[in-house]
Amino acid sequence: MPRAAPSLLPNRLKNALQHLLILAGLALVLAVPGYLLAGLFGVIWCFALVALTLYLSGRVPARVVLANASAGLLRRHQAPELYRVLDALYRHAGLTAEPLLFYSPSPGLNAFAVGDRHDGGIAITEGLIRTLNLRQLGGVLAHEVSHLRHGDTRVMSMAATMTRLTIWGAFLVQLGLVMMLPLVMAGEIDMPWRELLVVGLTPTLSTLLQLALSRNREYTADLEAVALTHDPRGLASALAVLERHDSLWLTAIFGRQPPTWLRYLQTHPPTRERIRRLLALDGTAADSPAPRREPSPEAPVVISRPDAQGRRYWILRRR
């Protein structure tokens, strides 16, 4: 057993506590405009809409995402090595559903989980396949399997719904306050400055909490990926490659060191911080660079590419 194992439990507890606190914060922020609009009934109505969205979230959005990505189903004979790795990851994660890989022809370096642990899969792009080697791809797949295992797509769908409801509720409260202006100007009532300030801040606070939750789930997926592969450096190496490709536009805008405040507006944590945490699990010095292994052209991980499927195919497809 690698040295990473003893460090996993405290990290898991820390991430779980952060997860619960952020969700509680989102719920509290959502309750504010609901309460100002209709009292306790407004709060109950808002959370009923969140529950309904959570129930429906696993039935359509995954297919819509695949359709928008022009994805096609990558079959076993087209990527036998990747499916061999994915089979092992599913088995270690306790997932009983059939592993499914989807292929997107995008040149960008990306992978994402769709659906949930019962009826989901993982999409990978052409750019990722061409750039990473099998070990690095294994780390990325383990990260996405962790998202499926813990239902992160549904968690983030719920958080997004709570944020949208908060924004809409705040807008309705602000609209009501504007309609009260004639009465305020006539001196019949006082301007409710406190309520105006609160509803002005709630959309921003809810958005920041949603982004914080996304970063928390990414840290947790990194941790659980290590638990599945026992190879922190494999994922760290993949992240180092992604950092070199994805940080170019930030460098062009902000220079070599993007401002600290920018991290609070991102859905993913800083890649260097993720690499530092992974290398710490491996007992490696935090400033030790991840290995830069290049993919081997003699052994492609994808033998042939599937054709892209249209929106009609994905919307009607059951499996």
Report the catalytic residues. Answer: 144
Q: Which of 116, 118, 111 is nearest to 144 (CA)?
A: 111
Instruction: Residue 68: count other Cβ atoms within 10 Å of its Cβ.
Output: 11
Residue with tokens 């019962």: 118
- In the chain, DSSP finds a helix count (H) and a strand count (E) of 12, 4
Distance between CA atoms of residues 276 and 282, nearest Å? 10
193 CB-contact burial (10 Å; exposed 0-12 / middle 13-18 / buried 19+): exposed
In DSSP terms, 101 is beta-bridged to 74, 122
**CA distances in angstroms from 179 to 168, 172, 173, 191, 301, listed in the order given:** 17, 11, 10, 11, 62
In DSSP terms, 72 is beta-bridged to 103
